[in-house]
Amino acid sequence: MQRLDPDKYENDPELEKIRKERNYNWMDIITVSREELPDYEEKLKSFYEEHLHLDEEVRYVLEGSGYFEVRDDKDRWIRILVEKGDLITLPAGSYHRFTLDEQNYIKAMRLFTGQPTWEAHFRPAENLEIRKQYLEFLVQSA
């Protein structure tokens, strides 16, 4: 996780540098709140269902907060609080889920390389090549 100054996200050389280096050429801003997100209940439900993606999931929190949850090496959940200014990267092929906190509000920039599909593969997804690659990466880096 990295920290940036979210109050200048529209003109931030640090953010530009990250985008260039990691080739995050695509971005949008999502607001997760009952008022602003269409199909709020449904989307929250699917955010919180354990899943993985074929690509990295990159979120830069501009306002509000929430929790990403990832698995440790014993398959237990680790809860990561993300707050205004945090930039989090979830590796392709890693299981995770997301939930709001008591504020019920987060506004985040979604960064991506290429054209996003946001497709979620719910657990179990052990047969996917990306899952095998991720597990192999864990072994190599242990």
One of 18, 57, 60, 94 touching ligand KMT (CB under 6 A): 57
57 in contact with Fe ion (CB under 5 A): yes
State how far the Cα of 119 lies from the Cα of 116, in Å rounded to an integer: 8
Any binding-site annotation on 57? yes
Determine the Cα–Cα distance for residues 135 and 142; give it in Å rounded to an integer: 11
55 binds Fe ion (CB under 5 A): no
30 binds ligand KMT (CB under 6 A): yes
Nearest alpha carbon to residue 40 among 99, 120, 108, 119: 99
Closest approach of ligand KMT to the CB of residue 139, in Å: 26
Query: How many residues in total does the chain contain?
Result: 142
Radius of gyration of the chain from its Cα atoms, rounded to whole angstroms: 15
121 is in an annotated binding site: no
Within 10 angstroms of residue 79's Cβ, the number of other Cβ atoms is: 10
Per CB under 5 A, does 86 bind Fe ion? no
The site string for ligand KMT over 110-129 (x = CB under 6 A, - otherwise) reads: --------------------
Give whole-number Cα distances, 68 to 39, 88, 139, in Å: 20, 9, 23
* C-beta closer to ligand KMT: residue 13 or 38: 38
Note whether 57 and 106 are within 8 A (CB). Answer: no
Q: Taking the complex as a whole, how short is the minimal distance between the CB of residue 125 and ligand KMT, in angstroms?
A: 15
Give the shortest CB-7-to-Fe ion separation in angstroms: 26
Residues that bind ligand KMT (CB under 6 A): 30, 32, 47, 57, 59, 66, 98, 106, 108
